Structure 1
Amino acid sequence: MSPSPTQFITLFYETCCPHDDCPPEPNLPIKATHLIRRHASIVLESHVRPAFAAQGTHPALDKRRRRKGDVEPFYETQPWKERRQGDEWDAVEVLNWCVLDTRSQSHHITSHFKKPDLEPLLPLLVPPILTLIDDWEVKYKTTGVVLLRHTLRNINPTHLSKMGLGDVFFDAVTTCLTYVNDPDSHIPLLCEGFPCALELARALHPRGSEKYIVAHERVLVNGVLSGLTYAGESLAVRHVLLEQVEEIYEGLGAVGVRYLKVGTDPVTRSCILMRPIPSQKYIVPALCETLETPFPVNPTTTRPGSLSLQTVAAQVLARVITECWPRWATELDFPPIPMYRGAILCALAVAWRRLVGWTRARVKEGEVLDTEIEALRGLLKKDCGLLREACGDVTEVGGEEYISLLSFQSRALVFFQLVLFHREYPFSYSTSHIPTTSSFSEARLRRSKNPRPRGF
């Protein structure tokens, strides 16, 4: 417990808690538990509400201001960030203690004290939490999201819907998902923001409903896909973003097929890749790009910095294939996943080749391989097996050849030629032979002389 709440608890208990049901000389945890169970509303009313009320009513809670679009004066002064004269604490520290201490002090609950009910405190909690989430400083945003998540776990979420605040909080939290430029301060916000947004979606809407799907789509598009576009070379941020895709696709189900980057030629009705939109705007290209990323070795640890990132990408790819392969698009003559078999196989092959090369180098140096390497190895094999099941006969290019591809054993040259052959002709369903070295060279020569049309 930080010094400021400690001083606050002692002072408030001595001045405002003359009770007979407490021990003669209670220690600090008992004092804190007593204040939370008996006087939470008084603490919020006297030490938190005045500081936030001095800033004014939040635009989302003020219909008149929201209608006029006058929001700038609300952010001009923020007295809640300042400490009152003579106090060693500010309103945010007291609010944080009041809400989160229901968790940290739970082991001090006795038969004399009951767990506080946060639902009656919602009118006192909603304005300051919403103000924190909408603040321009990232540290206050993170604090607000943490408080909101804890509040959601301790109330009936339908109360937010009845108060008309469900969409307000969801909009505020999804805005936090766009902060991807500064790993040091933005990663904690993303780690709290994504789970909070998904918890809000599950709490406010029935599973499988239109609003439920739309909420997950917003998190995917505005959070993950947009973040991958602007995250730059930050592997840590990309790692956090990709970690969210598996849970999002679990909620989207077959609807997630919309974001596999798929299109149809209106004339030939053949499948094409939609190039005008960046590849990060779709899941499959983003995952393939991550799997194909070289291992940037840290000179101090000799460990590849993207190994865990590729592990996450391989795990997410398994979820995407599982959720999207039963989906038959009505406007296409074949399911979406087989259309990407070439790109996916190539990404898996490149990731496997780099992993094997790096592993052999470590073995020669006498290092012991850890479980993370074996996990990535197993996930790559799993992805290849799932892809075969999803594509069916599409990947049947000749028995033994595909078995060697699936087991990742010998015949490496044939494997990579097969993968690159599929990438050269990603929509060809009849491949009666394995491309030889000469046919592979001829394919590369044809591509250099006849570049792909603009639509491909």
Structure 2
Amino acid sequence: MSLDSVLAGLRVPSDFNRYNDIPERDVITRLDRWKEDALRTLKELQTRVVQERAELSLKQKADIVSTTSVFDCDAAWVTPDSGAVARDILHTFSEPPLPLIVQILQHTLKPLFRSNPHPSINLETGRKLTRPAGGPMASQDFYDSQTWKESPGASNVLLWCVRNIPSTAYEDLWHLVIPPLMALLDDYEARYKLTGVRITSVMLERVPSTVLKRTGVDSLLIASLSRSLTQLQSPETPRLLPAAILTSLTLIQLMTSAGSVERFDQLCALLGDGIIGSIWPYASDRLPALLASIEALPPIIAILGVGCARYLKVLIAQLVHPLAPLEYEKTSVELQISSLRALSAVINACPERIPHWKGTILNGVARCWVGIVDPPKTPDTREPSADDRNLCEFYADPKQIQ
């Protein structure tokens, strides 16, 4: 069997995009059988790569990496065994030469995303356009003809490339990286947004800040990450919100200098407009979204420092409320513990302002401690541990917030 035939057998069926929503049992059976066949094919490919690596052309190596990187993820078409074999194959191509990355970006990914170009990106340069191409309705046209979704796992191919692009090569490859990345970030489905956020996070580890600023993509990324915070009802919300918040924080630190007005304004926008303004008003009955946003608070508060005093009233109110909610309102031990940790960050950031709120904090913490030591008859989602009790006892001591 030729190498092309082996790789063709590993092309993921597009039906996997709707795997969890397929009602037909025969389709599920067919896809499960494909996963079993894919494992055997991956093992065959692994053997051939070991035996023929020296004779493989650049195109063949690119095809192998593009095919196997699709299995390096947690997806419906991947089993633990197939994922392990795929990672072993990819390890063979660790520290890849730049021409291999260019081959994948140019000839595998670019054709997939060409049908629906992002309206704010110049496809030839990767720069931000001064005005959206296609006029006011361009954002709606952007969601038509999304042929790249017919190739499940295409985002993993981009992730492999971004992980391996040297810092010095980003400027030359910018026009190949940014269009597919922005297509993922600004997609209307949360699962693709999440993938785009993860790829952005990896890219920010290496990309020079000068390239981001000169091309105007930094502002596009901030805007896209901010829009991700409005996804409050999808299954990906508990992962998407903290990932978008922390990636925004990384981008802000990369693009601004410590102590600058610009950094302060962007941090305030992330905390005030993003978390407080876009998540909390709509998350009172959506505990996963609320929990995810509160878990991401401490790093922002630590960097913003005393600057978060401008939001102290709403921060204290939100973080104390889950500790002792009204009888008809929901909470959980996880939410209470996350609120206490965020409350600790606020106390450390604004010690001079805390005495004014001592009564409010002590009241909530004491009620939380009583609820954990003497819980109601209706069990919570998790039995409180010794660490949970110790944390509440710590905050119930007035000396800790003086």
- Cα separation, 2, equivalents of 1:142 and 1:180: 13
Deviations 1:404-425 (A, max 9, x none): xxxxxxxxxxxxxxxxxxxxxx
User: In structure 2, what residue type is equivalent to 1:236?
Assistant: P
Alignment partner for residue 245 of structure 2, among 189, 194, 202?
194
Residue in structure 2 matched with residue 43 of structure 1 by the alignment:
104
User: In structure 1, what residue type is equivalent to 2:114?
Assistant: A
User: How high is the sequence identity, in percent, across the aligned residues?
Assistant: 23
* Aligned-pair CA distance for 1:90: 6.2
User: In structure 2, what residue type is equivalent to 1:16?
Assistant: L
- Cα separation, 2, equivalents of 1:194 and 1:18: 39
User: In structure 1, what residue type is equivalent to 2:176?
Assistant: L
SS of 1:59's equivalent?
coil
User: In structure 2, what residue type is equivalent to 1:69?
Assistant: P
- Cα separation, 2, equivalents of 1:80 and 1:36: 26
- Cα separation, 1, equivalents of 2:178 and 2:361: 46
Q: Does 1:81 align with 2:96?
A: no
User: In structure 2, what residue type is equivalent to 1:124?
Assistant: L
- Cα separation, 1, equivalents of 2:190 and 2:384: 39
Deviations 1:215-263 (A, max 9, x none): 11121123322312211333332221111222111122222111123xx
- Cα separation, 1, equivalents of 2:280 and 2:10: 40
- Cα distance change, pair 33–4 in 1 and its aligned pair in 2 (3 A): farther
Matches within 5 A, 1:155-170: 155-170=207-222
* Aligned-pair CA distance for 1:31: 4.8
- Cα separation, 1, equivalents of 2:363 and 2:239: 34
Alignment partner for residue 233 of structure 1, among 282, 285, 288?
285
Confirm or deny: 8 A CA contact 2:58 2:100 kept in the other structure: no
The structure with the largest alpha-carbon Rg is: 1
Confirm or deny: 8 A CA contact 1:36 1:98 kept in the other structure: no
* Aligned-pair CA distance for 1:43: 0.9
Matches within 5 A, 1:412-451: none
* Aligned-pair CA distance for 1:291: 1.3
- Cα separation, 1, equivalents of 2:168 and 2:132: 34
- Cα separation, 1, equivalents of 2:103 and 2:58: 10
Residue in structure 1 matched with residue 316 of structure 2 by the alignment:
284
Task: Compare the two structures and name the one with the higher helix fraction.
Answer: 2
Deviations 1:54-110 (A, max 9, x none): 213432533343694342323222222224xxxxx664343233334x49xxxxxxx
- Cα separation, 2, equivalents of 1:312 and 1:319: 11
- Cα separation, 1, equivalents of 2:211 and 2:199: 16
- Cα separation, 2, equivalents of 1:217 and 1:318: 19
Deviations 1:385-406 (A, max 9, x none): 2322xxxxxxxxxxxxxxxxxx
Residue in structure 1 matched with residue 160 of structure 2 by the alignment:
97
Q: Does 1:254 align with 2:296?
A: no
Aligned length in residues? 321
Confirm or deny: 8 A CA contact 1:291 1:348 kept in the other structure: yes
Residue in structure 2 matched with residue 53 of structure 1 by the alignment:
114
Deviations 1:354-412 (A, max 9, x none): 122139999xxxxx973432442344246x32322xxxxxxxxxxxxxxxxxxxxxxxx
SS of 1:63's equivalent?
coil
Alignment partner for residue 387 of structure 2, among 362, 365, 372?
372
Residue in structure 2 matched with residue 331 of structure 1 by the alignment:
none
* Aligned-pair CA distance for 1:323: 1.5
Confirm or deny: 8 A CA contact 2:369 2:396 kept in the other structure: no
- Cα separation, 2, equivalents of 1:318 and 1:188: 23
* Aligned-pair CA distance for 1:191: 2.7
User: In structure 2, what residue type is equivalent to 1:82?
Assistant: E
Bigger shift: 283-292 or 231-240? 231-240
SS of 1:160's equivalent?
helix
Q: Does 1:325 align with 2:351?
A: yes
- Cα separation, 2, equivalents of 1:66 and 1:376: 54
- Cα separation, 1, equivalents of 2:198 and 2:115: 23
User: In structure 1, what residue type is equivalent to 2:143?
Assistant: Y
- Cα separation, 2, equivalents of 1:242 and 1:251: 16
Q: Does 1:150 align with 2:224?
A: no
In the alignment, structure 1 segments of 5+ residues that lack a partner are 20-26, 84-88, 104-113, 262-281, 297-303, 327-335, 363-367, 389-456
Alignment partner for residue 221 of structure 1, among 272, 280, 293?
272
Confirm or deny: 8 A CA contact 1:161 1:204 kept in the other structure: yes
Q: Supply the RMSD in Å over aligned alpha carbons.
A: 3.7
- Cα separation, 2, equivalents of 1:219 and 1:92: 26
